[in-house]
Amino acid sequence: MLAAVEFQWWHWASFVLVVLVFLAMDLGLFHREAREVRFKEALGWTCFLVVMALVFAGTLVPSFGKDDALEFLTGYIIELSLSMDNVFVIAVIFQYFGVPRAYQHRLLFWGIMGALVMRGLMIWLGAELVEHYEWTLYLFGVFLVFTGVKMLIGTEEEVEPGKNAVVRLVRRFFPVASRYDGQRFLTRERGKLLLTPLALVLVMVETTDLIFALDSIPAIFAITQKPFIIFTSNVFAILGLRSLYFVLAGAVAYFCYLKYGLAIVLVLIGFKMLIVDWYPMPTWLSLVLVGTIIAGSMLLSLGQARRQEDCAATASGEDGAGGGGGGDAAGKP
């Protein structure tokens, strides 16, 4: 059942207004002209948004207590962690469609706007289901355990944007231009209005977020059933997704174990839902476990990548030494 603490309408209105103002400033002031987002800039925005999430959690304490703040932080970490997998899929989509780096920021901006609306609707629907049919939480739990186990034992599925059913449906009903027209989603050729390839990429990004939301939204219901906490943690994670993409997109190969860490998190959260009647896991414990699993999988990934680089460097050095020795031997009488 939903918690007794009720957030007022003006909490929602104030938060949404601040987010819209921030997005308007981002697009209209900081990125008015299409340009490539550099690593340092993206890292700065990522750190800024993380700090803002921590500040927001701090503002919850005086009015609603530490429990709400912990629930927000735990939900935020879960949503942000699951978004990392989404980042890598988006990188594949951009590479497949050959999206110029200068247009990627604006594309992600409109993708985020669509994601906010879709996730808001999904959170509302989920909250209504849980409030009227509490057994829905058990279905969420089973679904998350199944998804996590499937990720652990399943083979890596290659993302094939060209075979995406939604993209094929769009191509069937709407004419698509053969080339980009700047950062426009619509263009005219011979007086005929056409979608640009950028519009197809936007459809793919929105579809991808919807698929990942099917895992992340049920997961956060294991932490809290308060719609405001669920929505705000999702918003902060989605806002961070854009800058996180420019930080991590070039380092996909370095996070080989992240998939397994995310899978374990899904199993843990699903298991938490299923045993809630026997052992309601404290929020702080969920926060520690989720943070430890994600951090551990990332450290293991970086360690593995470092070992592979060292092995490659050693092998290269040995080849060079062997080649040099052969030269000396050949030069002897």
Q: pLDDT, tens digit, for every residue of 274-285? A: 888 888 888 888
pLDDT < 70 regions, the chain? 1-6, 27-35, 155-162, 249-253, 309-333
Handedness of CA 267, 71, 256, 156 (dihedral sign): positive
pLDDT of residue 110: 86
Rg (Cα) of the chain, in Å, rounded?
23
Return the residue matching tokens 């619509």: 186
3-state secondary structure (DSSP) of residue 278: coil
pLDDT of residue 105: 82
Contact 293, 268 (CB under 8 A): yes
Q: Is 190 left (phi over 0), alpha (psi -120 to 50) or beta?
A: left
Beta bridge partners of 184: none
Statement: the pTM of the whole predicted model exceeds 0.75: yes
Rounded to the nearest angstrom, the gap between the alpha carbon of residue 142 and the centroid of all alpha carbons in its chain is: 22
What's the CA gap between 186 and 229, in Å, rounded?
37
Tokens standing for residue 280: 């309601």
What's the CA gap between 157 and 90, in Å, rounded?
15
pLDDT of residue 69: 92
Terminal alpha carbon distance of the chain = 90
Q: What are the tens digits of pLDDT across the range 95-106?
A: 888 888 888 888
Return the residue matching tokens 């948004």: 49
Output the CA angle 77-80-83, nearest 5 degrees. 150
H or E stretch at 186: strand 186-189
- Quick one: DSSP state of residue 178? S
What's the CA gap between 55 and 164, in Å, rounded?
40
Tokens standing for residue 289: 């476990």
pLDDT of residue 1: 39
pLDDT of residue 4: 42
Contact 272, 286 (CB under 8 A): yes
Q: In this structure, which amino acid lies at residue 179?
A: R
Selection from 218, 191, 202, 233 nearest residue 57 by Cα: 233
